[in-house]
Amino acid sequence: MYYIIIIVFMGLSMIVSARLKSKFKKYSQSPIGMTGAQVAQKMLRDNGINDVDVISTPGALTDHYNPANKTVNLSDWVYSQNTVAAAAVAAHECGHAVQHAHAYTWLGFRSKMVPALNISSKIMPWLIMGGIFLFYSSGNSLILIIGIAMFALTTIFSFVTLPVEFDASNRALKWLDTARILNREDHDKAKDALKWAAMTYVVAALASLAQLLYYLSILNNRRD
């Protein structure tokens, strides 16, 4: 069962990832009048945010908002390209900055989970592996229960991430319309690109839930 779960969700992840790359490649061929950096700077200004910097960061798909130092980090191509895809990504990341400025509940909840998640992620795999071994060899379930509880935290984090990501995309698309950065056709392209980006988080959350249910089934089946 475990391997079936892994194979199914690896397949889904590969399909979504391939679709996402295809969409961004396609919409990177649709030019607009502003670079990603310019889009980000304008969106921040229009939302009255003056304490967030827009910077370029190496790599691909490395775009993110860092609430700790208040920076919108755009990958090199997003920062410098004047395309629909770049505008969509830049506006999405600024959507997180707007969430931060407005104390968006789900973003605050997710940020509070990060310290505990960083600690649990380092020891959780060892606790689960060791816990399963002890459980089957001696019947002692304590270590496994602790490991599963830590894994449950990562699953909760994955689902908390979903409204954060969808809301950032909605804010981005609404602003792109209001600021008239994109025409109707380009708006639909940006919406499509952000939809597939969000799907990667949906698949990750469902995969985490399926794995959590598998671990819980080990406890239940063994006890039965």
- The per-residue pLDDT for range 40-65, each reduced to its tens digit, is 999 999 999 999 999 999 988 899 99
Q: What are the beta bridge partners of residue 72?
A: 54, 65
Q: What is the pLDDT of residue 202?
A: 96
- How confident is the prediction for the chain on average, in pLDDT? 93
Q: Is the per-residue pLDDT at 13 higher than 90? A: no
pLDDT at res. 172: 98
Cβ neighbour number for residue 116 with a 10 Å cutoff: 12
State the distance between the two ends of the chain, measured CA to CA, in whole angstroms.
18
**pTM (predicted TM-score):** 0.90
- Can you tell me the mean pLDDT for 167-193? 96
- Amino acid at position 90, single letter: A
2-27 and 184-223 helices cross at what angle (nearest 10)? 170
Residue 161 has pLDDT above 90, yes or no: yes
Q: What is the identity of the amino acid at 193?
A: A
Confidence of residue 18 (pLDDT cuts 50, 70, 90): very high
Closest by CA to 178, choosing from 13, 223, 170, is 170
How many domains does the chain divide into?
1
Given this model, what pLDDT does residue 1 score? 64
Which of 4-18, 39-53, 189-203 has the least mean pLDDT? 4-18
* pLDDT tens profile 103-117: 999 999 999 999 999
Q: Which residues are catalytic?
A: 93
- Distance in angstroms (rounded) separating the CA atoms of residues 211 and 216: 9
Answer yes or no: is pLDDT of 38 > 90: yes
Residue 170 · residue 106 · CB < 8 Å: no
The 10 Å CB-count burial string (b at 16+, else e) for 29-50 is: ebebebbbbbbbbbbbeebebe
- What range does the domain containing 68 cover? 2-223
- Beta strand 71-75 with 64-66 is antiparallel
Instruction: Say what the pLDDT of residue 219 is.
Output: 86
Single-letter residue type at 116: A
Percent of the chain whose pLDDT exceeds 70: 98
